[in-house]
Structure 1
Amino acid sequence: MTATWRDQLLPASFRGIRFLIPQTSVPVGMKGQLHEFPQRDTPFFEQLGKQSQVHKMTAWIIGDDCFERRDKLIEALETPGGGELVHPWLGRLQVKAGECDMSHDLTAGGMVVFDLTFYPDEPLKMPGAKVNTQAQVVNSSESLLTSSLNRYKTAMATVNKARLGLLQMRNGLSGVFSVIQRQFAPFVSVFTDATGFAQSLMNSPGSLSSLFSSYFSAFSGFNFFSSSSGGGSRSGGSSSSYGASAGGSGSDTGYRGAVAEAAQQTEAVSSINTVSAQGGVDTLAASQAAANLVQDSVLVQIGLIVSEMPVATQPEPIESVAAVDHQALQPIARPEVPVADDVIELRDNLNEAIFEASLKADPVHYLALNSFRQTVVKHLTAVAESGVRLVDVTPPETLSALVLAYRRFGDATRAAEVVQRNRIRHPGFVPAVPIKLAQR
């Protein structure tokens, strides 16, 4: 025998106190405002959201122990906070008791009547603080630059300029000058060659710190995430790191350009960690002080590049795949997300480079480098967590990059991403061998 609607009713209670409910009501539908206008016969009803679920009901407590149960229900109704209401028709609800009435009737002995009102108990969403890791990287970069300038000035103050050897300094700083040429293009007009760089340090040691101080005070960033950017053009370097760009344009912008530029500069940091031991004590001290300043300045520049990388918002999946000819006329617009593998590789290499640099730092500068390292690693970890992973994919046959991108992502415009990621010689022929592609 099938259960009837009466059998499906739940025994009513609030906070475990049982009672009977002969009738109940709750608003449904939409609340709103009716607009009526003069000289117009058609009103307009403006919907303003759903009605608040305010439960109003009549409750009976019947029996020889009605007074005892009545007092328990009163205590439950007057206890602050939410509680569970078992509604016969609607099930279990989290509510807060509102205005209620209690009545007794001499002719209805052994029964207490309540008119109850319950409001929905939605848990309050407590405000949560979100750490701005981008701002932390910027602040730690500025602190590192200040500490680096102070360390350079302190070191050069102890150097006897009369004992500096031009030939030894030029040979020892040749690698440092190469880094300046690649990473700080505006300085090329100041230092024409390695000899001029060494002469400048010998004649005016403070000029180098002044140059870096002025450079970063006017630093406007690489604009990797600007639509009109030609990002990363200062260094003239190249890298095999490519992001999962929606457009697949192949230009070094966005995450791809930022990761490639930062990776190239990280290699420069490691290349000048120490200078060759040529000349006397003063020559070596001056050369190492200059190398340390250039190394720290490259790190500061990397920090500013890294700070431009936002934590990505994941794109919505493509529900319906448009035809290739339609995508050619109207390409799919998807937000760019980083490739987690590239960001993690950059994070680990940069972490190692900063750690090596900190081993030769004095205690004060060590703290600045360590703080910088921690904030950069923290931000790059957050960026990587918002990115996509790479997976190994073997095409079933030799395909064009366009066909492979269309089959894999439903987006033919990502063909350039396939070519760049795997250094395919010709976009029309992707061989049937394992290649790296974004997971989505």
Structure 2
Amino acid sequence: MDQTWRDQMLPASFRGISFLIPQASVPIGMKGQLHEFPQRDEPYFEQLGKQSQVHRLVCWIIGDDCFERRDKFMEAIQTPGPGELVHPWLGRMQVKAGEGELTHDFKSGGMAAFEVTFYPDTPLKFPTAKVNSQQQVVKASDSLWDSALSRYKSAMATVDQARLGLARLRNTLSGVYTVIQQQFSTIVGVFTNLTGFVQSLMNAPDSLSSLFSSYFSEFSVDDYLGEGSSSSYSDTVATATQHSEAVSSINTVSQVGGVDAVAASQATANLVQDALLVQVAMIISEMPIASQPVSTSTAPSVEQQAVLPIVRPEVPVADDVIDLRDNLDEAIFQASLKADPVHYMALNTLRQAIVKHLTAVAESGVRLVDITPPVTLSALVIAYRRFGDATRETEVVQRNRLRHPGFVPPRPIKIAQR
């Protein structure tokens, strides 16, 4: 037997408080504006979208316990935020209670009558402009390098070249030269050794800034990291972390020696430090925001895991990216404390751009959680139990630097959350 309209009606309630509805109304159709013009007999109606679904309900609460249920219903409609309305004719919906009126009638003993207006709960959407955080990092790094060149030139202009001693500069710039060796291998090849580097500064201080400018004009992240490495989050994070440590290591130089030697050494260290920040910014700008993180819901079948080589896109590990972000944030902040106002602004702009981009990258990645195997298991078994995907055993081994993938001891290890 087919259901009648009475069978299809739902018991009315709001936030779980039941009531009866003898009457309900809701606007339908299109809202709009009627345009009427002088000396014209035909008006024009401009449609402006659908009517808002504002539900005006008459609610009856009847029974010996009507006062108790009345108070609960009043509390429900006076509680801020959305709630579920079960409409007898229209079904379930999320609404927000608006204005209402409570009526008691002596003739209708044992009943409380409400007239309540419910508004649709549509989250407020603010217009936002899509900002490319990668481009912001590149733009900020360009501005920083322009400021770095200006700062270096101004600092070296005040140095008396005749007062610079070879031995003094060798002592104060040995750490800076080591950083150049490690991070700017093509530049360091111009100098035979530390002595040659110092002699170049004493004879032609502008040559160093020119070398760096030429270096950046031809810089390629793929060439620096190696073909294919720029698309690897782990390789990029590892390289950027090395840069962060190098930035901190040359933040200040020894203050032992003459005024001119100290000034020249600090100016050189500042230039190399800025060059490091420009280079790490260019490397970080190549880190995309992952769009398809690994998910257990897309794990290949057991048959596929046993037969086919599984290729999946790499996603960033949020914990690693956040650590890199915080380290760079602190390193750039410390560097800015010794900068003049103009250069401080350039450093701060780059710091904010890097933090913003790395935060977005981290949000698109996977978080790590700590788990402890109940007994000694293989990485393959742990990966299958955790993700339903045994092919992710390599991920478990690399993350925890396990000596042997077949024996994971029952102690805490880090593993992706999904």
Same topology, TM > 0.5: yes
SS at match of 1:212: helix
CA contact (8 A) 1:312 1:383 kept: yes
Aligned match of 2:391 = 413
Aligned match of 1:335 = 313
CA offsets per residue over residues 6-45 of structure 1, 9 Å max, x none? 68689896628xxxxxxxxxxxxxxxxxxxxxxxxxxxxx
Aligned match of 1:311 = 289
CA contact (8 A) 2:368 2:417 kept: yes
Aligned match of 1:161 = 161
Q: Do structure 1's residue 367 and structure 2's residue 366 form an aligned pair?
A: no
SS at match of 2:297: coil
- Structure 2 counterpart of 1:171, which letter? N
CA contact (8 A) 2:375 2:409 kept: yes
Aligned match of 1:295 = 273
Aligned match of 1:113 = none
CA contact (8 A) 2:148 2:343 kept: yes
- The aligned runs of 1:252-401 (5 Å cut-off) are 254-313=232-291, 314-319=293-298, 321-323=300-302, 326-401=304-379
Aligned match of 1:428 = 406
The RMSD of aligned alpha carbons is 3.3
TM-aligned CA deviation for residue 158 of structure 1? 1.1
CA contact (8 A) 1:225 1:254 kept: no
- Structure 2 residue corresponding to 1:82, chosen from 50, 63, 67: 50
SS at match of 2:366: coil
TM-aligned CA deviation for residue 322 of structure 1? 2.1
TM-aligned CA deviation for residue 333 of structure 1? 3.4
CA distance in structure 2 between the aligned counterparts of 1:171 and 1:85, rounded to whole angstroms = 78
CA offsets per residue over residues 289-343 of structure 1, 9 Å max, x none? 00000001101111111111111113454356522x6325323333222111111
CA distance in structure 1 between the aligned counterparts of 2:171 and 2:253, rounded to whole angstroms = 9
SS at match of 2:370: strand
CA distance in structure 2 between the aligned counterparts of 1:7 and 1:430, rounded to whole angstroms = 60
Change (3 A) 1:439 1:80: closer
Change (3 A) 1:224 1:214: closer
Q: Do structure 1's residue 219 and structure 2's residue 236 form an aligned pair?
A: no
Q: Do structure 1's residue 184 and structure 2's residue 152 form an aligned pair?
A: no
Change (3 A) 1:7 1:366: same
Change (3 A) 1:126 1:362: closer
Aligned match of 1:229 = 228
TM-aligned CA deviation for residue 404 of structure 1? 1.8
TM-aligned CA deviation for residue 134 of structure 1? 0.7
CA contact (8 A) 1:134 1:307 kept: yes
Q: Percent identity?
A: 64
- Structure 1 counterpart of 2:228, which letter? S
SS at match of 1:173: helix
Q: Do structure 1's residue 206 and structure 2's residue 185 form an aligned pair?
A: no
CA distance in structure 2 between the aligned counterparts of 1:149 and 1:203, rounded to whole angstroms = 18
Change (3 A) 1:168 1:328: farther
Query: How many residues matched?
Result: 330
CA distance in structure 2 between the aligned counterparts of 1:223 and 1:187, rounded to whole angstroms = 15
TM-aligned CA deviation for residue 190 of structure 1? 0.6
- Structure 2 counterpart of 1:229, which letter? G
TM-aligned CA deviation for residue 222 of structure 1? 3.6
CA distance in structure 1 between the aligned counterparts of 2:172 and 2:257, rounded to whole angstroms = 9
CA distance in structure 1 between the aligned counterparts of 2:332 and 2:377, rounded to whole angstroms = 43
CA offsets per residue over residues 262-307 of structure 1, 9 Å max, x none? 1111000000001112321111111110000000110111111111
CA distance in structure 1 between the aligned counterparts of 2:314 and 2:147, rounded to whole angstroms = 36
CA distance in structure 1 between the aligned counterparts of 2:279 and 2:324, rounded to whole angstroms = 15
CA offsets per residue over residues 230-266 of structure 1, 9 Å max, x none? 45xxxxxxxxxxxxxxxxxxxxx61111111111110
TM-aligned CA deviation for residue 435 of structure 1? 0.5
TM-aligned CA deviation for residue 400 of structure 1? 1.9
CA distance in structure 2 between the aligned counterparts of 1:12 and 1:278, rounded to whole angstroms = 87
Structure 2 unmatched runs, 5+: 10-21, 31-44, 56-87, 92-121
Aligned match of 1:119 = none
CA distance in structure 1 between the aligned counterparts of 2:219 and 2:299, rounded to whole angstroms = 44
SS at match of 1:425: coil
- The aligned runs of 1:119-158 (5 Å cut-off) are 128-158=128-158
CA distance in structure 2 between the aligned counterparts of 1:224 and 1:435, rounded to whole angstroms = 33
CA distance in structure 2 between the aligned counterparts of 1:204 and 1:277, rounded to whole angstroms = 23
Change (3 A) 1:230 1:12: closer
- Structure 2 counterpart of 1:362, which letter? D
CA distance in structure 1 between the aligned counterparts of 2:408 and 2:393, rounded to whole angstroms = 10
CA distance in structure 1 between the aligned counterparts of 2:224 and 2:233, rounded to whole angstroms = 7
Structure 1 unmatched runs, 5+: 17-53, 56-76, 93-121, 232-252
CA contact (8 A) 1:259 1:342 kept: yes
- Using structure 2 for the length normalisation, give the TM-score: 0.71
Change (3 A) 1:318 1:284: same
CA contact (8 A) 2:229 2:236 kept: no
- Using structure 1 for the length normalisation, give the TM-score: 0.68
Aligned match of 2:82 = none
> Which segment is superposed worse, 308-317 or 269-278?
308-317
SS at match of 1:176: helix
TM-aligned CA deviation for residue 357 of structure 1? 0.3
